[in-house]
Structure 1
Amino acid sequence: MKGLKKQRRIQIIALAAVLLVGSTALIGYAMQDGINFFRSPSQVFENPPGDGEVFRIGGLVEEGSLQRGQGETITFKVTDTKSSVPVAYTGVLPDLFAEGQGMVGTGRMVAGTFEASEILAKHDETYMPSEVVDALKEQGVYVDPNPGS
């Protein structure tokens, strides 16, 4: 009787482990299209993305590069002060989007231009996305406006 209980307990634990591994694999498979990796403009030039690969790019909107085209199409360049990538976006930009400010865009490279499907901008005077700050720090050009906070 004692051996039967022990065997049953082992079977339940083994089944639970198999179900856990299976559900983790299914979740990972389902999320693989939803994971967008962040890249700075320098990283885009050093290691170009694959055809049709969706990723996030971030940096500063280059001064003097913002051009509003026909309709809702807007073009500009995003820079990390080392490299610049041309960006095309069709849609309404966030209210706080401006030249010289931080931004993050989601999209893909098409013929050397990043075609953004989504643009995010800073939300106050001192905020910049952490990925952009990290990329600028790597370039040695970012100075924290609020040291110690």
Structure 2
Amino acid sequence: MRGLKKQRRIQILIVAAVALTLSTALIGYALRDGINFFRPPAEIVDNPPPPDEVFRIGGMVEEGSLVRGQGETITFNVTDFAASIPVRYTGVLPDLFGEGEGMVGTGRLIDGTFEATEILARHDETYMPAEVTDALEASGYNAEGYSTEDNGS
């Protein structure tokens, strides 16, 4: 009787371990397309991702780089003031999108150009996404494009 209980417990533990492993694998499989890593332009220049990888890029829209093409296609450069990446987007841009403003885009890097499927911009004049702020600070600049190493002189 005692051996039967011990054998039953071992069977239950094995079934529970298999179920836990299977559910973890299924969750990971379901989330694989939903996880987009953020990369600033300097990191993309240093280590370009493969063309099939979907990721997010963020920074400031470079002054003088915004070109509205035929139809809904827009091209511009996004910068973290350490590097600049060309971006192409087809669609309607957010109202507050413009040159010198912060943005985050989702898409792929194809032949050196970021092909965006989604563009997000600030939702008011004072907000800056934390990822963009961190990337700018890491490159030594603030959201206005001023070097953080300048001491006001």
TM superposition score normalised by structure 2: 0.86
| Shift in Å, 1:125 | 2.0
How far, CA to CA, are the matches of 2:97 and 2:30 in structure 1? Answer: 33
| Shift in Å, 1:2 | 3.8
Query: Structure 2 stretches of 5 or more lacking a match?
Result: 145-153
| Shift in Å, 1:106 | 0.7
How far, CA to CA, are the matches of 1:23 and 1:37 in structure 2? Answer: 24
Amino acid across the alignment from 2:44: V
- Tell me if 1:19 matches 2:19: yes
Q: Which residue of 2 aligns with 1:57?
A: 57
Runs of 4+ in structure 1 off by over 3 angstroms are none
- Tell me if 1:47 matches 2:63: no
| Shift in Å, 1:36 | 1.5
Q: Superposed, which structure 2 residues align to 1:27-106 within 5 Å?
A: 27-106=27-106
Amino acid across the alignment from 1:118: E
Amino acid across the alignment from 2:130: S
Q: Which residue of 2 aligns with 1:135?
A: 135
| Shift in Å, 1:143 | 6.5
How far, CA to CA, are the matches of 1:37 and 1:30 in structure 2? Answer: 16
How far, CA to CA, are the matches of 1:133 and 1:106 in structure 2? Answer: 17
Amino acid across the alignment from 1:24: T
Count of residue correspondences? 144
Asked if 1 retains the 8 angstrom alpha-carbon contact of 2:76 and 2:86, the reply is: yes
How far, CA to CA, are the matches of 1:110 and 1:28 in structure 2? Answer: 26
Amino acid across the alignment from 1:35: I
How far, CA to CA, are the matches of 1:127 and 1:2 in structure 2? Answer: 66
Asked if 1 retains the 8 angstrom alpha-carbon contact of 2:133 and 2:143, the reply is: no
How far, CA to CA, are the matches of 1:50 and 1:37 in structure 2? Answer: 13
Query: Structure 1 stretches of 5 or more lacking a match?
Result: 145-149
1:67–1:105: structure 2 CA closer, same or farther, 3 Å change rule? same
Asked if 1 retains the 8 angstrom alpha-carbon contact of 2:56 and 2:104, the reply is: yes
- The secondary structure found in structure 2 opposite 1:63 is coil
How far, CA to CA, are the matches of 2:80 and 2:25 in structure 1? Answer: 37
- The secondary structure found in structure 1 opposite 2:125 is coil
